[in-house]
Amino acid sequence: MTVRTKQQTYLNYINGQWVPSASGKTEASLNPANIDDIVGYVQESGVEDVNVAVEAARRAQAAWRKLSGPKRGEYLFRAADVLKKRLDEIAETMTREMGKTLPEAKGEVQRGVNILRYYAGEGMRSIGEVIPSTDSEALMFTTRVPLGVVGVITPWNFPVAIPIWKIAPAIVYGNTVVFKPAQETAVTAAKIVECFDEAGLPAGVVNLVTGKGSVIGNAIAEHPHIHGITFTGSNEVGKTIAQKAVARGAKYQLEMGGKNPVIVLEDADLDRAVEATISGGLRSTGQKCTATSRVFVQRTVYDQFKEKLLAKVKQLNIGNGLEDGVWMGPCASQKQLETVLSYIQKGIEEGATLVYGGQRLTDGERAKGFYVQPTIFENVSPDMTIAREEIFGPVLALIKVDSLEEALSLANDTPFGLSASIFTQNIGKMLAFIQDIEAGLVRINEESAGVELQAPFGGMKQSSSHSREQGRAAIEFFTAMKTVLVKG
Which residues, including other chains, have CB under 8 Å from residue 452's CB and lie 6 or more apart? none
Q: Give every CB contact of residue 427 below 8 A, 6+ residues apart in sequence.
A: none
CA distance 186 to 180: 9
- DSSP state letters, 179-201: EE--GGGHHHHHHHHHHHHHTTP
- The strand pair at 292-298 and 260-264 is best described as parallel
Q: Are 177 and 202 in contact (CB under 8 A)?
A: no
As a whole number of angstroms, the distance between CA 326 and CA 322 comes to 8
* CA 409 remoteness from chain centre: 27
Q: Write down the catalytic residue from 104, 122, 255, 378.
A: 255
Residues 289, 390, 438, 469: which is the catalytic one? 289
Residue 255 annotated in active site: yes
* 3-class secondary structure, 354: strand
Burial class (CB in 10 A: 0-12, 13-18, 19+), 143: middle
Give yes or no: 331 in active site.
no
Q: Work out the widest C-alpha separation in the chain, in whole angstroms.
A: 80
Cβ–Cβ under 8 Å, residues 142 and 109: no
> How many angstroms separate the first and last alpha carbons of the chain?
74
Is the CB of residue 330 less than 8 Å from the CB of residue 370? Answer: yes
Q: What element of type H or E holds 36?
A: strand 34-43
At 193, the amino acid letter reads: V
Dist CA 233 CA 276 (whole Å): 24
Instruction: Give phi and psi for 458, each to the nearest 5.
Output: 165, 170
325-361 b/e (C-beta count within 10 Å ≥ 16 → b): ebbbbbbbbeebbebbbebbeebeeeebebbbbbebb
- Report the SS3 class of residue 166: helix
Q: In 10 A of CB 487, how many CB atoms?
A: 9
The catalytic site residues sit at 255, 289
